[in-house]
Amino acid sequence: MYVCVCVMFGTVCRLRPIIRRRQRLGPVVILQIGGNDLCSKDADSVVNSLIDILFEIRQKPGVHQIIFLELTHRVSTRRFHLRMGTASYNAAVNRVNTAMAAILAEFNSVGIYFWSHRERLMGINQLCTDGVHFSQLGMRNYWRSVRGAAICAIRRLRRGS
C-alpha cells in the first residue's frame, strides 16, 4: 500500500495532525518539508521539529523507511514577506541540510535516511518566476530525484536492510 499525503503551504505544524490521524502509512515515507518552516523559525528549531516528526512517523505501524529530502534554495523570498532576505534564507537551508545529513547518518540503522538531490535542483533555471517553486524543468528533475529515492528505498526493503 502506498499513500501520498500533500500539505499545502506545508509546515511541520500542519503535517503533524495529518500524520496523527492516519492509522497507517506506506512502508516507505518520503518527506519534503521544512522550507516553509524557515519562514518563521530559526534553523535549529526547524531541525528539532523535523527530527521529532521523523521519529513520530517511524513509530507508525507498517513504516519501514523514511527518506528526508534535502531542502532547496530559493531565488526570491519577497513573495512570502519573510523576516529574512534570500541569502539568509538559503544560508538557513544549508544549515538545516547539513545538520539533517549528519544527524540522520546516525539513524540509517533504524530506517531513516537523508536524500541529497545532488545539485540538480539548485540552479536558477530550475525555478519559476516566483523564485520559489519548480519550473517545468525543475519539476522533471525533482521527480527524477524523488523516483531515485523511492527506488533506493525499495531496493533496501528487498534486501532487508
Task: Dump pLDDT digits (tens) for 85-94.
Answer: 888 888 999 9
Domains of the chain with CATH codes: 12-159 (3.40.50.1110)
Q: Give per-residue pLDDT as tens, 38-68.
A: 888 899 999 999 999 999 999 999 899 999 9
Predicted confidence (pLDDT) at residue 19 exceeds the cutoff of 90: no
Report whether 102 contacts 44 (CB < 8 A).
no
Of residues 41, 23, 150, the one with CA closest to residue 50: 41
What's the pTM value of the predicted model, to 2 decimals?
0.86
Predicted confidence (pLDDT) at residue 1 exceeds the cutoff of 70: no
Which of 3-7, 119-123, 139-143, 145-149 holds the top average pLDDT?
Answer: 145-149
Which of 13-27, 52-66, 68-82, 136-150 holds the top average pLDDT?
Answer: 52-66
CA distance 13 to 49: 9
- Under the banding of pLDDT at 50, 70 and 90, the label for residue 105 is very high
Provide the pLDDT for residue 112: 94
C-alpha cell at 77: 523570498
Spell out the SS3 assignment of 11-53: CHHHHHHHHHHCCCCCCEEEECCCCHHHHCCCHHHHHHHHHHH
Q: What is the mean pLDDT of the chain?
A: 83
Of residues 41, 130, 55, 43, the one with CA closest to residue 31: 55
